[in-house]
Structure 1
Amino acid sequence: MNYFKKIYKIKYVALFLTAKIMVSCGGVPEEDTEKKSSSKIFAVADVLTLVAEENDVTRTLYTKAIVGAGKKQGLKFDEDWQDDEVEAGPLPALFLRGISSDIRKSDVPLGLYLGSDYPINASNKFQGKQAELFKKIKENQIPQHFFEEDQKMYTSMFADLAVAAPCVNCHNDHESTTKTDWKLGDVMGATTWQYPSDSLSYKEAFDVIRAYRNGTKAIYNAYLEEIASFTDQATKPEIGKKWPSKGFYLPTAEVFIDSVRKITSYHSLEKLLAATEEKSNSGLVSN
């Protein structure tokens, strides 16, 4: 895929930076209270922005390169994809729900959900403060960061755009839709992320990214397992290194996730290092 070429050239730089960061973490599982406090060097809004940006890449890749291109090859996607009688894959919103579900099973206190003012599922409609802030997001697409008093959670909301025709068509045509004139580029909703602390240590920041990536792998593997259970051999794509753009194929979970990482890893590491250097210069990072 051509848009990976530039990132691939800096792959080894990214790996080097990863090693540098992990060494600087010290790898010590238990720290005294003073050291724990001084190691909280990442603002929660920065970390949630980081993982939200990776989520944007993941969902865009899934929506365009898997769902969009896959439909052209005969692959099917359905909201009831896990029903025994349905031989299909998850729609983009359900792909995100699968990631969220896996994160909830982990020991990382990261919350993720997708809301809207015109959701297909009424339970996903924004209420209260989030509804008010979403109005601002629809106007300017600027993320909103705030403390959710009711839940005692630091919260970040990011615009969820209609990036591909399958998103628009699904929402316009769905039997439960409350809006039928969606178009490409519209702010269809917002991904909302939550974390219980206002700052994170190296380990906590990496744990957030790890939990998200594990969730991505879990839902993608669930899709591949669903394909393995298809009774009609004609509906089973070949799974390997090729993408639907090349024919009736699907990439493995490793190929899909590696593609996301090639796009996001260097950017993520740059941000983490920048935050480290800023805190170090201000004397807030202990040696």
Structure 2
Amino acid sequence: MRQLISRSRAAISQLIYKRIILAVTILFCVGVGIVMANMSQLSSTLIESQALQNATLYAQSIREARALYSADVINPLNNAKLISFTHDYNPTKLTVPVPATFLIELGKNITAKNPEISVRLYSNHPFPWREKEGRARDDFEREALSYLTQNPTQKFFRSENFQGKPAFRYAEADILTASCVNCHNTNSNSPKKDWKVGDVRGILEITQPLDTITQKTRGGLKNLFFLLAGLSILGIAGLTLAISRLRQNAKQLEQRVRERTAQLQETNVELLKEQEKSDRLLLNI
């Protein structure tokens, strides 16, 4: 049994030695396949991470704009009681939009200047004049409302086709403050009048295309892949040359051993002949 195992090992070692370049090439192809699979996964992760960062910054900017508008515009004018506040904002009249209307108008302006980006504010309880555009329109928006109403401090996002193109959709809860609660609960047209501070009034959603991010991310990873592939090919070429050189040296050494063995055999034959002559001479004496 041991002899069989030893012979098998010797046969495998001999096969690997004779086919070392083929074995290295196969290992290289397997390695390339693994690298490509990992890079594809890494590409998807990087794309989503970049899209999430962009959407988070957009949402933060919009929140800051509304907070600044409320603090520096709404509050002073409201205390002075000089201008009326309304959802039906009209620049030609002496009116100022309420914060929610300001956010909606800001989102429309952003979308108008960047058609591929969508900024929306929607709710389960829109005012009557926003009933059509203020409710959830598709599965993502309905799921976002359901999830964020239960988890207002979390974020809800995913990548999916939007209007026929790959897009990243991001949603976060629009939480009521004290001033907003008072406005909603006292407005005669409010569809809900039992709001409390911290309730989720609606959802702020940012939708952005993934084409540009995907192109940049995959372009960078493609260059990295080509670099790794080039270095690997150079490594294999160098290894192949080294193996070829070792094989050549081994053949030369083997040839020298054979020649030396042949010389020793000839010398032994000569010695045997001389020994036989000596033996015959001794017998004749």
TM-score calculated relative to the size of structure 1 = 0.51
Aligned match for 2:151, one of 131, 140, 152: 140
Who is 1:180 aligned against?
A: 193
Query: Is the alpha carbon distance of 1:116 and 1:100 closer, same or farther for their aligned partners in structure 2, counting shifts above 3 Å?
Result: same
Amino acid at match of 1:200: I
In 2, are the aligned partners of 1:164 and 1:184 still within 8 Å (CA)? yes
Question: If you compute each CA radius of gyration, which structure gives the higher value, 1 or 2?
Answer: 2
- After superposition, what is the alpha-carbon deviation per residue over 1:4-40, rounded to whole angstroms, capped at 9, x for unaligned? xxxxxxxxxxxxxxxxxxxxxxxxxxxxxxxxx9x97
Who is 1:79 aligned against?
A: 87
Residue identity (%): 25
Who is 1:69 aligned against?
A: 76
TM-score calculated relative to the size of structure 2 = 0.51
Query: Is the alpha carbon distance of 1:58 and 1:159 closer, same or farther for their aligned partners in structure 2, counting shifts above 3 Å?
Result: same
2:50 aligned with 1:43: yes
Q: CA deviation at 1:164?
A: 4.2
Aligned match for 2:173, one of 136, 143, 159: 159
Query: Is the alpha carbon distance of 1:169 and 1:41 closer, same or farther for their aligned partners in structure 2, counting shifts above 3 Å?
Result: closer
Q: Larger relative CO (CA 8 A, sep 6+): 1 or 2?
A: 1
- After superposition, what is the alpha-carbon deviation per residue over 1:120-171, rounded to whole angstroms, capped at 9, x for unaligned? 1212112433212222111222110113445343210011111241x22332
- Tell me, what secondary structure is at the counterpart of 2:67? helix
Aligned length: 170
- Tell me, what secondary structure is at the counterpart of 2:86? coil
In 1, are the aligned partners of 2:158 and 2:168 still within 8 Å (CA)? yes
- Tell me, what secondary structure is at the counterpart of 1:193? strand
Q: CA deviation at 1:98?
A: 1.8
- After superposition, what is the alpha-carbon deviation per residue over 1:197-230, rounded to whole angstroms, capped at 9, x for unaligned? 17639xx9xxxxxxxxxxxxxxxxxxxxxxxxxx
Q: CA deviation at 1:56?
A: 1.3
Give the aligned CA root-mean-square deviation in angstroms.
3.4
- Tell me, what secondary structure is at the counterpart of 2:97? coil
Query: Is the alpha carbon distance of 1:158 and 1:183 closer, same or farther for their aligned partners in structure 2, counting shifts above 3 Å?
Result: same
In 1, are the aligned partners of 2:48 and 2:168 still within 8 Å (CA)? no
> Structure 2, unaligned stretches of length 5 or more?
1-42, 228-285
Task: Please identify which structure carries the higher helix content.
Answer: 2
Who is 2:273 aligned against?
A: none
Q: CA deviation at 1:192?
A: 0.7
Q: CA deviation at 1:172?
A: 2.3
What is the correspondence of 1:157-236 to structure 2 with a 5 Å cutoff? Answer: 157-165=171-179, 167-197=180-210, 200=213
Query: Is the alpha carbon distance of 1:113 and 1:101 closer, same or farther for their aligned partners in structure 2, counting shifts above 3 Å?
Result: same
- After superposition, what is the alpha-carbon deviation per residue over 1:62-119, rounded to whole angstroms, capped at 9, x for unaligned? 12332133201224311223175x4211111111122122223214521101011111
Query: Is the alpha carbon distance of 1:129 and 1:172 closer, same or farther for their aligned partners in structure 2, counting shifts above 3 Å?
Result: same
Aligned match for 2:99, one of 77, 92, 98: 92
Distance 2:48 2:89 in 1: 42
Who is 1:116 aligned against?
A: 123
Q: CA deviation at 1:45?
A: 1.4
2:64 aligned with 1:57: yes
Query: Is the alpha carbon distance of 1:41 and 1:68 closer, same or farther for their aligned partners in structure 2, counting shifts above 3 Å?
Result: same
Distance 1:45 1:83 in 2: 35
Distance 2:211 2:156 in 1: 15
- After superposition, what is the alpha-carbon deviation per residue over 1:30-65, rounded to whole angstroms, capped at 9, x for unaligned? xxxxxxx9x979621110011111211111121233
Distance 2:198 2:76 in 1: 19
